[in-house]
Amino acid sequence: MSKIAFIGAGRMASAMVGGLLTSGSASPSSLACIGGEDDTAARLAAATGIHNATTLDSLLEGADVVVLACKPQQLSGLDTRLAQLTRGALVISILAGKRLSRLSQTFPQARNLVRAMPNTPGQIGAGITGWSPLSEISAADRSLVERILGSLGKLVPVSEDQLDAITGLSGSGPAYVFEFAAALREAGVAAGLSREASYQLAVETILGSAKLMAQSTAEAEELRNQVTSPNGTTFAGLRRMEAHDFRGIIRETVVAARDRSVELSREG
């Protein structure tokens, strides 16, 4: 694989680097990163053997792909020389709320731009990422995108106007699942379990249920019904969820996150 340069060396960049190296899709010599004022780039380089660049010139020299993985609010403060230094490169951005039209102002001479929304399970290769290119993408560049973003897990190519919804659902979704796990844990404690046992039961229940859904051709509702006996224990619990409009709460949660993503994109 050609040289891949990472601007930013946080969790997602580290996950991509780790996935690329583990899969054999890249070697340490073909990867480089640069960080901000913290030591994340130095730590990533020490852990993986990739190059820790100290200047943009050394980072981007010979780079065919540039992965923008800094904090979204740092975009406006990036070195203006990036416009020239990324000339002819494929630029992949994982910055939340930063539209392709805005990215094209920073990288006007890139051969193409890709906006992506990964999620945190990508840290263990179990993520899912929605992505969209600025212009029609070549077969070669599509292959590069799939190899790089695929290091985080599964991919869903979409039109850019769907990325805000993806942000609200899968981008923010792990936090909702973690909150649900915490709620199950606290409910188990209230029902008489120890905190440790309750947490283990909650985590394994969520994990097992997710695996079952992934391996089944049945809809979630059908799987739910398979657990539910008429007027039984599960039925009693589901009645309480329905009474408090559980689905409505989740719908409002995802829409609120989507709307905030739209707001962030308008803030530039």
Q: pLDDT (tens digit, 9 = 90+) per residue, 1-15?
A: 689 999 999 999 999
Task: Provide the pLDDT for residue 228.
Answer: 97
Predicted local distance difference test score (pLDDT) of residue 38: 84
**Angstrom distance (rounded) from CA 142 to CA 151:** 14
pLDDT value for 1: 66
Report the percent of the chain where pLDDT is more than 90: 91
Alpha carbons 112 and 115: distance in angstroms, whole number: 10
> pLDDT (tens digit, 9 = 90+) per residue, 87-103?
999 999 999 889 999 99
**Quick one: average pLDDT of 178-196?**
98
Give the distance, in angstroms, between the CA of residue 67 and the centroid of all CA atoms in the same chain. Answer: 13
Q: pLDDT by residue (tens digit) across 141-177?
A: 999 999 999 999 999 999 999 999 999 999 999 999 9
The pLDDT of residue 268 is 61
pLDDT of amino acid 65: 98
User: Beta partners for 153?
Assistant: 127
> What is 128-193 written as a DSSP string?
EEEEEESSPPPHHHHHHHHHHHGGGEEEEE--GGGHHHHIIIIISHHHHHHHHHHHHHHHHHHTT-
pLDDT grade for 264, boundaries at 50, 70 and 90: confident
Domains and CATH numbers, the chain: 3-159 (3.40.50.720), 171-266 (1.10.3730.10)
pTM above the 0.85 mark?
A: yes
Nearest to 114 by CA among 168, 74, 150: 150
Q: pLDDT confidence of 27, banded at 50, 70, 90?
A: very high
For residue 36, the model assigns a pLDDT of 80
Average pLDDT (77-92) is: 96
The percent of residues in the chain predicted with pLDDT above 70, rounded, is 99
Q: How far is CA 192 from the centre of its chain?
A: 37
Residue 19 has pLDDT above 80, yes or no: yes
* Other residues' Cβ atoms within 10 Å of the Cβ of residue 38: 10
What pLDDT shows up at residue 2?
A: 86
Q: In this predicted structure, what is the pLDDT of residue 97?
A: 87
- Return the residue matching tokens 């609010």: 73
Separation between Cα atoms, residue 78 and residue 184, nearest integer Å: 43
For residue range 38-75, what is the model confidence (pLDDT) as tens digits? 899 999 999 999 999 999 999 999 999 999 999 888 99
What mean pLDDT is reported for the chain?
95
